[in-house]
Structure 1
């Protein structure tokens, strides 16, 4: 009988008292590193202290170069919980940053570790002629939910075509319009990808090796077809990142089959 392989363990500066064991779970949890939610997939856990860590937070580099802030490198920062400091906001998703996050001090730019793993380019069925780039821009209208995009979104600058982060995985309704206000000719697939291969394999785009796509990040968004102005992504971000990243690597056609509809 073959020996049972030992579980992987790591040491991490956010929890110096004990080793963290790698586990796979179907339960939601709060990451003790970046203080944002996690879900189905692999994480690191200290059972003694009920401490959990996103797999990416357990391995993210201390310095990061990102298209989100190409002017300067981003440095990892640990913000002590409960410290008397001004509230800081993730420039990308709008949620507060606590614990572990990336920061450019020169530009006052802050971003969650998970948010840095969103892919730069996607292609969407509502705008198949051009790639959409993740970027901030002037206010525009989301082509999926028809409400205002006021912060980071997937955008075609040439056509002034915008889609909210929280709407990118939603199957377009019959009323969704293209950038030229021409209705789709048929029920299009949700979206598909054409992106360059990741620089360091799957982990180059930040997808945790044990991430499971069987967790639907759009369940909350579907409760309201029009996200409110300044809506925070909250626990939606973990699976949003995971599914988008898997889509980039595998060139998945979303909106078809079980991948996008699973919960």
Structure 2
């Protein structure tokens, strides 16, 4: 197991050391500008946080990814070039730290680059896929970047769709807005279980498979979200409770 330093120095925040801590409250990473949860490096004197994946990436490093065998992804503190850059995994804007392949033009957020190829929710394995063979259970489409699928290949969910669900839930739970407005927003946040049932609404003949697929969703969404937020081991019930509620 790789050793994790409890305290580090980082070039983009040279004044103070950053200490490793664990949080179940979502934060915004000052490196990649994406949401995070679980293990992070935090400045005790400033409002400054980094995903573990962002904090430990060497300033001059090249990584390879099994989805892009010919690519060499170099780490950058800022998106290279003047053009808008989009992460090829989650299809979201690149606003900070990024792995970029100069030859092919592909970009990956650090947390996306570190998404596990296989996730286990305690009962089932979920597999990271470059392309979908079936429609996503959230949006009904096949595009939008990478996805996770269940071992039975009946449950598919885009990484981008999980991020959208999370942002909706995060806004409702943590933004300082009127309580009635929060309640209204929470009622509009789709339950993933409900989404799966609605998506399969006309498939009564496949009842057994549909039921099993919906059962998979409850545990799967927790591990997918925690992986996307930078910590596949995080306990994140407090964050995702809104959109997986029954």
Same fold (TM over 0.5): yes
* Residues 110-125 of structure 1 aligned to structure 2 (within 5 Å): 110-121=107-118
Equivalent of 1:25 in 16, 20, 23: 23
Residue 78 (structure 1) aligns with: 77
- What 5-or-longer segments of structure 1 have no aligned partner? 1-6, 194-204, 223-259
1:131, distance to aligned residue in structure 2 (A): 7.4
User: RMSD in angstroms over aligned alpha carbons?
Assistant: 4.2
- Please state whether the residue corresponding to 2:237 is helix, strand or coil: coil
C-alpha contact 2:24 2:239 (8 A) present in aligned 1: no
- Please state whether the residue corresponding to 1:57 is helix, strand or coil: helix
Q: Deviations over 1:17-47 (max 9, x none)?
A: 22111222343221111111223x2211113
- Count of residue pairs brought into register by the alignment: 194
Q: Deviations over 1:120-159 (max 9, x none)?
A: 35699xxx9x975411369x632x2462232223469xx8
More helix by share: 2
* Residues 148-163 of structure 1 aligned to structure 2 (within 5 Å): 148-152=141-145, 153-154=147-148, 162-163=156-157
Residue 211 (structure 2) aligns with: 187
Distance 1:173 1:137 in 2: 16
Equivalent of 2:45 in 32, 44, 48: 48
Distance 2:232 2:154 in 1: 35
Q: Deviations over 1:134-191 (max 9, x none)?
A: 11369x632x2462232223469xx89854333699336434449x995231732215
Residue 105 (structure 2) aligns with: 108
Q: Deviations over 1:48-96 (max 9, x none)?
A: 231111122112352222123221221111117xx98222111111211
Residue 252 (structure 1) aligns with: none
1:108, distance to aligned residue in structure 2 (A): 0.3
